[in-house]
Amino acid sequence: MIVTHQDISTLEFDAQGLIPAVAQDVDSGDVLMVAWVNAEAIKETLARRRAVFWSRSRNRLWEKGESSGNTLSLVEVHADCDRDTLLMLVRPHAAACHTGTRTCFGDASLVRSNDFSFLSTLERVIEERVTTPNPESYTARLIAAGPKRLAQKVGEEGLETALALTAEGDHEAKNEAADLLFHLAVALKARGLSLSGVVEELKRRHRPG
């Protein structure tokens, strides 16, 4: 169930008026953190469109990233079948854990839905090259070269992939396909687009059966 303001009163809070909330990266499937919320925290989360929790130790509301800037932008809040646990689908803007790791479960043990979620990691790296360009970075230099150069590279890699698929072995075909996917991701990001947006378009086109 997607939780709206009208649904808050139907949730099953505990004796302290709290309910656990799991924050999950909507793009990668990474489970980022678990915290507690009360009715007011849920209202603020929906109103601000950023994750707000209840601190039991400080006895007050706290917005994730209020001091660090590492906020969690809200996509949706879901309640489970018993309405006593919440799932917050979010987009993190930096490390979710106060220790500096991407998740509170450690970078080495990310809980992912499948291997395709690595594409979300790749896009985050490309985004960093866009916002904080490093002259030593190939990606940053590629972006700085402009849209025509990016389009040229996508065309070149597409042709090389096609040739590899028709005339070379599996290893070469995978390598060229990886190059194509990388350059396509960079070109999309340079335009403010994303691979997840492309996936959404594929889903829109999909007709089951």
20 and 73 assigned to the same domain = yes
CA distance linking residue 67 with residue 56, whole number of Å? 18
Are 140 and 94 within one domain?
no
pLDDT above 90 as % of the chain: 61
One domain, residues 39 and 79: yes
More confidently predicted of 209 and 125: 125
Task: Give the tokens for residue 105.
Answer: 């479960």
Paired tokens of 157: 């890699």
Q: Are residues 104 and 126 in the same domain?
A: no
Closest CA to 30 of 82, 130, 105: 105
Tokens, residue 135? 């002259």
Domains in the chain: how many in total? 2
Whether residue 109 is predicted with pLDDT greater than 60 in this model: the reply is no
SS3 of the chain: helix, strand, coil, percent, to 5? 45, 20, 35
Quick one: 86 and 137 in the same domain? Answer: no
Same-domain check for residues 94 and 13: yes
Q: What tens digit of pLDDT does each residue of 5-34 get?
A: 999 999 999 999 999 999 998 877 788 999
Q: What SS3 class is residue 36?
A: strand
10 with 98, same domain?
A: yes
CA–CA distance from 79 to each of 2, 3, 62 (Å)? 7, 6, 21
Of 109, 130, 165, which residue sits at a domain end? 109
Task: Compute CA distances 183 → 20, 130, 141, 156, whole Å.
Answer: 41, 14, 12, 10
Expressed as residue numbers, the domain containing 71 is 5-109
* pLDDT at residue 114 greater than cutoff 60: no
Report the 3 state secondary structure along 65-126: CCCCCCCEEEEEEEECCCCCCEEEEEEECCCCCCCCCCCCCCHHHCCCCCHHHHHHHHHHHH
Cα separation of 89 and 178, whole Å? 29
Same domain, 10 and 104: yes
Q: How far is CA 173 from CA 20, 162, 186, in A?
A: 46, 8, 20
Q: Is there a contact between 85 and 79 (Cβ–Cβ < 8 Å)? A: yes
Residues 133 and 164 in one domain: yes
- For 193, residues 6+ apart whose C-beta sits below 8 A from its C-beta are none
Residues 93 and 143 in one domain: no
In the prediction, which pLDDT does 148 show? 95
Query: Do both 18 and 81 map to the same domain?
Result: yes
Residue 30, pLDDT score: 82
What are the pLDDT digits (tens) for 151-191? 999 999 999 999 999 999 999 999 999 999 999 999 999 99
CATH number at residue 195: 1.10.287.1080
What type of residue is 45? Answer: T
Domain boundary among 109, 135, 154: 109
Gyration radius from the chain CA atoms:
21
In a shared domain, residues 35 and 90: yes
